[in-house]
A and B are shown apart, each in its own frame.
Chain A
């Protein structure tokens, strides 16, 4: 019996031992990952970690130095980009400004010589799907950034690609728009049962859209799993930092926090910004260094006894302590992750 890792993945994308080089630079270093059909995977990593190169290699835009890329069991080596049946959506959409919105969306259908009536109906359907009914005759240059990305998404989905490749699809948008479009993207991908590989440096984008996550650093895959798994147990302190944890504690301070949280495991402790809460019955003590009111809560920086300076929150309803005051703190176990000693 082959072990699971040796099995050829029959349904969906299977990247095995992939290495991509730019001259002497190893951009993607021996990466393996599997993406079953119908799922959405986010590859998360800082800029320059090789995630975009990985995406371009899957698209057929960068030749691999070694390793293989398969889809539904078929090796894609030597298959040119336009024959892979994928679609790639760039960070800035890369709409064709010399064509109307409808003509952009129709582009992949025209390429495949679909009948005119079918193209028109499909374009209307897609524009409705991305919430841009009636935009067909507009020029891309007249659209806002979010609208452009929606058009790019509609264009990429037009022929129901076997695999949708998304290169930081939301990064160019502002925060509010990013959140809304992230929700929509997830809904649209689920409704169309699209298999998608998304790369991003924004953990919120990744969590908002993906069924699976893979963390990349310096060309290598550091960790992969469901968002909940990755979230609960970052592979190391760097991974925790990249996932949005505000602080990682080690040694004696880590043990203090673990005891206060009532956790028996051992290891490094990663804390979210709201992991510590002002609570008169809390097991930790500290002195407030600074306080800043926000609509949801008062955000504090507290010198925690035996631990050090950490972020904490005081929820509305309780009187917010000012700088110099002594407070008691409780630890919210759901906002703490333990990194086992490896």
Chain B
């Protein structure tokens, strides 16, 4: 006989889910607090509390300096110009490389994507080699002009547009375009009325990321702009390392933090407003006559990418008036006048070891973050917490590597957080720089998994952990490898944070290249060229593997 019905005690599934979410997020949050929030906060404190007392006046004075205005203006207009040019070149190239079928398209795709992971210092060296005295385009007189910087920015960021727009284009449902054509639209009208609107989200998203990368570019500007053309990013570096004006550096970092965060927020809003486009695998078609303009633009883009790289390789093989591998053989020396403390070969060993550490850190962290932010929320409270975590984990994208490195330098130097001598300091910084990229690689795949797959698994007796392993991780195997490749390549080329943190007796290759460039002597310069080629080859190899592992229709930035 049953008495009164007892109240439902379902174990408060909402609270339980919320606890599980917070438990999963605790690790990444802790890491980010120590290695991101703390350094950035320390850097801000440097600006606002210069002598231990709150003094915002100093920051305002820095922002009123005419040089700061010039730097800010140059940063904005060069980034804007770079972004526009990148989109104009990149969208046609995305069409040619992702929608058309022709022999060698895969190699060309990898070639266009390679610059993105090329170390920024290498890109700077390559453009100098092309435009500088003795280079093939020296007669244009562009060396040391803003045009050189902008060209290098476009070179560097083409991959972002090509990859983001290309993957979106590849996965685009072809039927609306076919319907438009069937209704009498010309190829041009089809593109403008059906294809372009469907790609707008991808283009805006790519453009905002490119603007961000342009505005925070460091190595390229430092090598090509020198003291004359500085962006906010290089100015922070100069103020910190050359002029020791920490307050001014902190003021500029703060300014950059605000601008970039606003920009990222805007980009995220745009992405959110873009309706999800039906994903569909379509066969690439053979090129036709209507593709001629796009093919021509793609050729220009390929030339822009190929010329600096080829010139760099050629330069590295030049010995006096002849050819040879002498510059490469010199890499196991420390250069003329002992410019660097260790041979370049040893620096390469450092770079590889650091990259391995940075890779497992950023992939482990990125995997946890991706799982946390992509799970479907079951209650309003859970959705809020998840949304907050999502924003928090994307913060590293808003802070420049230079700011991060600077922050590490001034905050992680006292017990219990004294990491100055830790061999993991540089990898941690690089892992944080690579983190947004890793998350952007993994999260879309996880978000694309039908939640009912996990429900089917649990209904068949799999515990939530088992479902995670057998459904999520099984599908993530390839993207995880790709993310690891990205992280490895980013780490190999990272210069902004590393330039602050790498100790002189344990430099990475980009740091060595920059040192070699900064010291006169043709032998040093030739060694810099050879080291650049070696570094570029290493990252290109990694990138090619990543491209082979690419999940069709998923990816982009």
Asked if A and B are interacting partners, one says yes
Whether the Cβ atoms of B459 and A81 lie closer than 8 Å is yes
Please measure, in the bound complex, the distance between the C-alpha atom of A88 and the C-alpha atom of B458, giving whole angstroms. Answer: 9
Residues of A within 8 A of B457 (CB): 96, 107
Residue from A17, A94, A159 within 8 A of B5 (CB atoms): A17
Please measure, in the bound complex, the distance between the C-alpha atom of A66 and the C-alpha atom of B459, giving whole angstroms. Answer: 22
Residues of B within 8 A of A158 (CB): 460
Residues of A within 8 A of B145 (CB): none
CB distance from A255 to the nearest CB of B (A): 46
A338 within 8 A of B: no
Please measure, in the bound complex, the distance between the C-alpha atom of A90 and the C-alpha atom of B454, giving whole angstroms. Answer: 12
A61 within 8 A of B: yes
Q: Can you name the residue of chain A whose Cβ is closest to the Cβ of B462?
A: A111
Q: Can you name the residue of chain A whose Cβ is closest to the Cβ of B17?
A: A63
A296 within 8 A of B: no
Contact with B along A51-79 (1 / 0, CB 8 A): 00000000101011111100000000110
Residues of A within 8 A of B459 (CB): 59, 61, 81-82, 86-88, 165
Residue from B1, B14, B452, B467 within 8 A of A90 (CB atoms): B452
* 8 A Cβ contacts from B327-361 to A: none
Please measure, in the bound complex, the distance between the C-alpha atom of A59 and the C-alpha atom of B458, giving whole angstroms. Answer: 10
Q: Can you name the residue of chain A whose Cβ is closest to the Cβ of B455?
A: A61
Residue from B452, B453, B458 within 8 A of A81 (CB atoms): B458
Whether the Cβ atoms of B470 and A96 lie closer than 8 Å is yes
A312 within 8 A of B: no
Please measure, in the bound complex, the distance between the C-alpha atom of A319 and the C-alpha atom of B369, giving whole angstroms. Answer: 75
B474 within 8 A of A: yes
B450 within 8 A of A: yes
CB distance from B512 to the nearest CB of A (A): 44
Please measure, in the bound complex, the distance between the C-alpha atom of A258 and the C-alpha atom of B496, giving whole angstroms. Answer: 90
Whether the Cβ atoms of A63 and B471 lie closer than 8 Å is no
Residue from A77, A78, A159 within 8 A of B461 (CB atoms): A159
Whether the Cβ atoms of A156 and B10 lie closer than 8 Å is no
CB distance from B466 to the nearest CB of A (A): 6
Please measure, in the bound complex, the distance between the C-alpha atom of A77 and the C-alpha atom of B11, giving whole angstroms. Answer: 8
Q: What's the count of A-B pairs with C-beta under 8 Å?
A: 86
CB distance from A189 to the nearest CB of B (A): 17
A281 within 8 A of B: no
B292 within 8 A of A: no
CB distance from B419 to the nearest CB of A (A): 40
B456 within 8 A of A: yes
Whether the Cβ atoms of A87 and B460 lie closer than 8 Å is yes
Whether the Cβ atoms of A68 and B11 lie closer than 8 Å is no
* 8 A Cβ contacts from A89-110 to B: 90, 94, 96, 98-99, 107-108
Interface size of A as a range: 35 or more
CB distance from A161 to the nearest CB of B (A): 8
Whether the Cβ atoms of A112 and B10 lie closer than 8 Å is no
Residue from B2, B471, B474 within 8 A of A2 (CB atoms): B2
Residues of A within 8 A of B474 (CB): 96, 98-99
Contact with A along B427-464 (1 / 0, CB 8 A): 00000000000000000000000101101111111111
Residue from B10, B452, B458 within 8 A of A78 (CB atoms): B10
Whether the Cβ atoms of A96 and B471 lie closer than 8 Å is yes
Residues of A within 8 A of B475 (CB): 98
CB distance from B2 to the nearest CB of A (A): 6
B9 within 8 A of A: yes
CB distance from A249 to the nearest CB of B (A): 43
A132 within 8 A of B: no
Residue from B5, B11, B14, B461 within 8 A of A111 (CB atoms): B461
Residue from A8, A64, A87 within 8 A of B2 (CB atoms): A8
Whether the Cβ atoms of A64 and B10 lie closer than 8 Å is yes
Residue from B1, B9, B452, B470 within 8 A of A94 (CB atoms): B452
Whether the Cβ atoms of A2 and B8 lie closer than 8 Å is no
Whether the Cβ atoms of A82 and B463 lie closer than 8 Å is yes
Please measure, in the bound complex, the distance between the C-alpha atom of A82 and the C-alpha atom of B457, giving whole angstroms. Answer: 8
Whether the Cβ atoms of B9 and A78 lie closer than 8 Å is yes
Residues of B within 8 A of A87 (CB): 459-460
Please measure, in the bound complex, the distance between the C-alpha atom of A82 and the C-alpha atom of B466, giving whole angstroms. Answer: 10
Please measure, in the bound complex, the distance between the C-alpha atom of A52 and the C-alpha atom of B14, giving whole angstroms. Answer: 21
Task: Known A86-B459, A94-B453, A156-B460; judge A111-B8 contact (CB<8 A).
Answer: no
A80 within 8 A of B: yes
Whether the Cβ atoms of A107 and B10 lie closer than 8 Å is no
Count chain B CB atoms within 10 A of each CB in A2, A6, A63 and give the residue with the most.
A63
Q: Can you name the residue of chain A whose Cβ is closest to the Cβ of B378?
A: A63
Whether the Cβ atoms of B461 and A112 lie closer than 8 Å is yes
Please measure, in the bound complex, the distance between the C-alpha atom of A2 and the C-alpha atom of B466, giving whole angstroms. Answer: 44
Q: Can you name the residue of chain B whose Cβ is closest to the Cβ of A165?
A: B459
B176 within 8 A of A: no
* 8 A Cβ contacts from A1-15 to B: 2, 6, 8
Residues of A within 8 A of B8 (CB): 64-68, 77
Whether the Cβ atoms of A88 and B10 lie closer than 8 Å is no
Residues of A within 8 A of B464 (CB): 80, 82
CB distance from B234 to the nearest CB of A (A): 47
Whether the Cβ atoms of A81 and B11 lie closer than 8 Å is no
Residues of A within 8 A of B450 (CB): 94
Residue from A65, A77, A88 within 8 A of B456 (CB atoms): A88
A155 within 8 A of B: yes
Whether the Cβ atoms of B456 and A111 lie closer than 8 Å is no
B13 within 8 A of A: yes
Residues of B within 8 A of A85 (CB): 461
Residue from B9, B13, B458, B471 within 8 A of A82 (CB atoms): B458
Task: Known A90-B452, A96-B474; judge A68-B5 contact (CB<8 A).
Answer: yes
Residues of A within 8 A of B14 (CB): 63
* 8 A Cβ contacts from A106-157 to B: 107-108, 111-112, 155-156
Whether the Cβ atoms of A96 and B466 lie closer than 8 Å is no
Residues of A within 8 A of B463 (CB): 80, 82
Known pairs A64-B10, A96-B474; list 6 more (Cβ under 8 Å): A63-B14, A78-B9, A78-B10, A87-B459, A111-B460, A159-B461
Nearest 3 pairs between A and B by C-beta? A88-B459, A78-B11, A108-B460
| B interface, CB within 8 angstroms of A | 1-2, 5, 8-11, 13-14, 450, 452-453, 455-464, 466-467, 470-471, 474-475
A selection of 12 A-B contacts at a CB cut-off of 8 Å is A64-B10, A66-B8, A82-B460, A82-B467, A96-B453, A96-B470, A98-B475, A107-B460, A108-B461, A155-B460, A156-B460, A165-B459
| A interface, CB within 8 angstroms of B | 2, 6, 8, 17, 59, 61, 63-68, 77-78, 80-82, 85-88, 90, 94, 96, 98-99, 107-108, 111-112, 155-156, 158-159, 165
